[in-house]
Amino acid sequence: MILPLKRRKALTVDSKRMLLFGSPKCGKTTIVSGLDDCLIVDLERGSNYVDGMIVPINTFAEYADLIKSLKQAKIDNGGKNPYKFIAIDTLTALEELSLVLAKQLYMATSMGVNFKGSDVRTLANGAGYLYTRQAFMKMLKPFEEVCDNLIMIGHIKEKELNSGTESWTEKSINLTGKTKDILCAWSDTIGMVYREDNMTCIDFSPSDSLIVGSRQKHLIGKKIVVAESDKDNNLKVDWSTIYLEGKSIKNANPVKEIIDEK
């Protein structure tokens, strides 16, 4: 191995793995449908009211067929990814779907070979969650091999916390235990989608009450408008201040940022 003798520049600007969460009907599916060359993997039948390239997935067999088709499309395309973006909508539904694989993983062990149940989460002392975590990531990771940028969409979880003298509500992605920790560590960028007046925004600014953040310098600490509707409810979606590939940060569109009123 040749050891580096000088600093190199960053190899990428854009987030390869973006994790988004937000309240129901806040516009998560709508904003990803506004991305060019984006395949939406609809696991919750939540895309019926948006235009886009959408594939509904309801069973593990359909999921397996989709992964097979995506890999074949990449081969047929000379090794080039068939889509620039793939959006998984939602992670909650993917976690439920992964229970099929979790059972297979457990039954492949000496302890689980005679397992007769349908849900490994019923195993004593929470032992089954090891397999649900493994299954969830095994089902998620193949998508990043067939797209340039993976967007993972989830529901919000609000948790009341207190320090004895004060209390606050923590907002984060709604996933089970350590699965959330593993996914957040794996993601390059985490943002909360929310509505403000006629705008759909993504908050990348972390705090004690908001579990978000980014490795991308142009997103750190930002609250960015990605969609805006006019008086006739015509919506304009613009991701150009979030995904900068093909242009320098200096020449990118100015960031339309929400500033908190103090």
Pairing of strands 53-56, 17-22: unpaired
In whole numbers, what is the pLDDT of the chain averaged over residues?
A: 91
> What is the C-alpha to C-alpha distance for residues 190 and 18, in angstroms, rounded to an integer?
6
Averaged over 161-175, what is the pLDDT?
88
Asked if pLDDT for residue 154 goes beyond 80, the answer is yes
Check: CB of residue 158 under 8 Å from CB of residue 174.
no
Cβ-count burial of 237 within 10 angstroms (0-12 exposed, 13-18 middle, 19+ buried)?
A: middle
Averaged over 132-151, what is the pLDDT?
97
pLDDT of residue 237: 95
pLDDT of residue 178: 92
Residue with tokens 């779907």: 97
| Strand ranges in 3-146 using DSSP code E only, listed in sequence order | 17-22, 38-42, 53-56, 83-89
Between 94 and 247, the higher pLDDT residue: 94
192-203: per-residue pLDDT in tens? Answer: 999 999 999 999
pLDDT band at 252 (very low <50, low <70, confident <90, very high): very low
Closest listed residue to residue 215, CA positions, set 192, 237, 185: 185
Check: CB of residue 89 under 8 Å from CB of residue 29.
yes
In the chain, % of residues over pLDDT 70:
94
| Strand ranges in 72-146 using DSSP code E only, listed in sequence order | 83-89
Averaged over 135-153, what is the pLDDT?
98
Check: CB of residue 66 under 8 Å from CB of residue 41.
yes
Question: What DSSP element (H or E) covers 124?
Answer: none
Query: For the whole model, what pTM was predicted?
Result: 0.91
Please, which residues have CB within 8 angstroms of residue 241's CB and are 6 or more apart in sequence? Answer: 218, 224, 252, 253, 254, 255, 256
Go through the domains of the chain in sequence order and give each one's CATH number.
17-194 (3.40.50)
> What is the C-alpha to C-alpha distance for residues 77 and 96, in angstroms, rounded to an integer?
32
